[in-house]
Amino acid sequence: MDVVKTLKPGSNGTKRLVQRYGEQLLAVRYRLDREKQLSYTTVELIIETKPAPTQGLNLTADRLQQNRQQIALRIHHEERDLQRLVKAAGGKWDVDHKIWRISYGEAIRLGLKERIIEK
């Protein structure tokens, strides 16, 4: 299906659609299906308006970034089972600082929020 013409609201060929859809109408397209010998009229509409996210990133991207951030966990030497659990989730032992490093999202998923070390 080929687009034959794209028109902005108010142009000739869009007037009845402007009456029908009003301010929501962004574009009118005329398409042609050469095999079936049919022409179609399609419209592009605004269906929702809401405030834009701040800081240039949307909330989902912010949350994903936060979940990937590496954090430090305090796990005592004798807590071997917990160490194995963290290691299986991708955690790494930091020899220099004697802490476990893991992504924030994994720490939360494992229920270890109270063990996060604030810097």
pLDDT digits (tens, 9 = 90+) for 72-94: 999 998 999 999 999 999 999 99
- Same domain? For 72 and 106 the reply is yes
- DSSP 8-state class, residue 32: E
Measured CA to CA in angstroms, residue 41 lies from 4, 13, 23, 28, 29 at distances of 10, 10, 18, 7, 6
- The residue among 28 and 52 whose pLDDT is bigger is 28
Q: How many domains does the chain have?
A: 2
Give the distance, in angstroms, between the CA of residue 69 and the centroid of all CA atoms in the same chain. 17
- Same domain? For 73 and 110 the reply is yes
Q: Side by side, which strands form the sheet with 99-103? A: 92-94, 99-103, 70-73, 116-117
* pLDDT number for residue 91: 92
Predicted TM-score (pTM) of this structure: 0.48
Please report which confidence band the pLDDT of residue 40 belongs to, taking 50, 70 and 90 as the band edges: very high
Query: Which range marks the domain in which residue 87 is found?
Result: 66-117
Residues β-bridged to residue 99: 94
- Same domain? For 113 and 77 the reply is yes
